[in-house]
Amino acid sequence: MQLGDRNVVITGASRGIGAALARECAARGARVTVVARSAGPLADLATELGGHAVTADLADASVTAGLIARIEDEVGPIDVLINNAGIDLAGGFAELSGEDLERLIRLNVLAVSELTRQALPGMIARGGGHLVMISSLAGSGTFPGIAVYAGTKAYVTHMSEGIRLELKGLPVGLTVVEPGLVRPTDMADSVTSYAPTAACFARFNRLGLLADVDRDTLAHHAVNAIEQGKSHVRYPKRARLFPQLTNAPRRMVALCLAGVPRR
């Protein structure tokens, strides 16, 4: 799908990867709607890009309820939904508070599922659309200090591949983005502020299995994937084998389902 004049909604766009995605989409002529909690940075970005800002705490179910319909009332039908908003919890599982645990799952799991659930029927009915799920390499391999975060990303990837099966034959695209550590971002700083997690990244970097991914380069590849209808974006290239291996059983299931009705 070419992005010129398309309505693109990007969650978690007040900074980091989301802001880079918004800039990349706007540079290709899209009308962007940026969503996050920080009203000031969001308004500044919307002004810079000639887009629309929606201040929303997506971890709050009363806020996500009906949110897609409200956005569509304001800007028109959504062509592309980029589910990017996400948080990590730097630290050991045993030290987590119940409150933090719930907040992380509400945002990384429930909000992604709920916004997709709200947006997809309209895309199908209109005969076009594209979903982008910002997952992570952590959905394939986990480190100490990110157990719950990695679990939420495994959910995002696995749910997305299930949705992909249901989209077979329909004009709605789906891209799963699975990056390693992306810089500069607050999340990369947060994750590596916990020494055991930082030590794991350092080991993987020394082994040549990981390398930092540049935020703007990732955004460029992710937006290319929308325009070129690519199913996966995996960086750094050297780590692609991990998600390819974890995706292998899903690919095998998909092949075995050839000819079976999906919807």
User: In angstroms, rounded to a whole number, what is the distance separating the alpha carbons of residues 187 and 227?
Assistant: 27
Which residue number, 30 or 58, has a Cβ lying nearer to ligand NAP?
58
User: In angstroms, rounded to a whole number, what is the distance separating the alpha carbons of residues 180 and 64?
Assistant: 28
Which residue number, 40 or 121, has a Cβ lying nearer to ligand NAP?
40
- Min CB(105)–ligand NAP separation in Å: 12
- Min CB(205)–ligand NAP separation in Å: 13
- Min CB(4)–ligand NAP separation in Å: 25
Catalytic residue among 149, 155, 194, 235: 149
The residues, any chain, with a CB within 8 Å of residue 32's CB and separated by 6 or more, are 8, 9, 10, 13, 22, 25, 26, 46, 49, 51, 52
Place of tokens 């969001």: 42
Residue 127: C-alpha distances to residues 42, 75, 160 (Å): 30, 18, 19
Joined together, the tokens standing for residue 199 give 């030590």
Joined together, the tokens standing for residue 211 give 């390398």
Which residue number, 123 or 187, has a Cβ lying nearer to ligand NAP?
187
Task: Write phi, then psi, for 182 (nearest 5 degrees).
Answer: -110, 130
DSSP bridge pairs for 133: 83, 176
Site for ligand NAP, rule CB under 6 A: 12-18, 36-38, 56-59, 84-87, 107, 134, 136, 179, 181-182, 185-188
Helix, strand and coil content of the chain, in percent to the nearest 5, comes to: 55, 15, 30
Which residue number, 203 or 262, has a Cβ lying nearer to ligand NAP?
203
User: In angstroms, rounded to a whole number, what is the distance separating the alpha carbons of residues 84 and 102?
Assistant: 18
Which residue number, 14 or 142, has a Cβ lying nearer to ligand NAP?
14
Joined together, the tokens standing for residue 8 give 């693109």
For 85, what's the count of Cα atoms within 13 Å in the CB-facing half-sphere? 32
Active site residue 149: yes
- Min CB(128)–ligand NAP separation in Å: 25
Cα 76-77-83 angle, rounded to 5 deg:
115
- Min CB(57)–ligand NAP separation in Å: 5
Residues forming the active site: 149
